[in-house]
């Protein structure tokens, strides 16, 4: 926002001697009320979340919000450019741009070869790939602790929970569904990812 625009807003206030009525509390309330009027434009708009036909109304209400923000910043002795730039710098640290997206592989461990192939291909495409730690259905018998394959052992429970944490780290998951097969554990992981808003891709459509 230009210095000229800010000065114009403040001059409008001063010409009418309204500064005497301005304090942080009332200005904060005014910002909230004007923001509510901006939100009201979208009430009952169904799928039309952009409301392009209401652009002029959006311009008007958004201007009211910004005007009150200028007034509050002036009342509190804050520089608009400084506080916005400072916030952008903080957000840049808090939400850094990821150079390499993280992809977590999910699926039955009986498809070990498909896991390894997907891991290789996704890595070469510039992804950080998180895979399973043990292929219990492909010979890694430690998972079953000497019991029958498929038994819910403590090791299996730990690995399942650990894989959910890998999903937490992912930008998306990639499901190894060879022949369209998706077992109960994988279905649980897919449901978990979707609940977290994490996109799900599949090896096979």
Domain ranges within the chain, ordered by starting residue? 3-91, 102-202
For 28, 29, 66, 84, 175, the CA distances from 10, given in Å and listed in that order, are 17, 19, 12, 19, 57
Tokens 């079953």: give the residue: 144
Cβ within 8 Å of residue 155, ≥6 positions away: 142, 143, 144, 145
pLDDT in tens, 70-114: 999 999 999 999 999 999 999 998 888 888 999 999 999 889 999
pLDDT in tens, 149-197: 667 778 878 888 889 999 999 999 999 999 999 998 899 999 999 999 9
Fold of the CATH domain 3-91: Helix Hairpins (1.10.287)
């Amino acid at each position: 926002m230009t210095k000229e625009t800010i000065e114009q807003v403040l001059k409008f206030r001063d010409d009418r001697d309204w500064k005497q009525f301005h304090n942080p509390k009332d200005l904060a309330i005014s910002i909230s009320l004007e923001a509510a009027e901006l939100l009201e434009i979208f009430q009952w708009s169904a799928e039309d979340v952009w409301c392009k036909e209401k652009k002029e109304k959006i311009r008007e209400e958004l201007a009211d919000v910004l005007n009150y923000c200028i007034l509050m910043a002036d009342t509190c002795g804050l520089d608009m450019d400084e506080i916005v730039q400072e916030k952008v710098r903080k957000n840049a640290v808090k939400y850094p741009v990821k150079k390499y997206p993280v992809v977590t592989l999910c699926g039955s461990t009986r498809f070990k070869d498909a896991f390894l192939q997907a891991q290789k291909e996704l890595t070469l495409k510039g992804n950080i790939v998180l895979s399973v730690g043990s292929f219990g259905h492909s010979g890694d018998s430690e998972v079953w602790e000497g019991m029958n394959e498929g038994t819910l052992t403590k090791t299996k429970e730990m690995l399942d929970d650990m894989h959910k944490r890998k999903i937490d780290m992912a930008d998306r998951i990639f499901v190894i569904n060879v022949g369209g097969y998706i077992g109960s554990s994988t279905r649980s992981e897919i449901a978990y990812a979707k609940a977290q808003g994490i996109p799900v891709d599949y090896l096979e459509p």
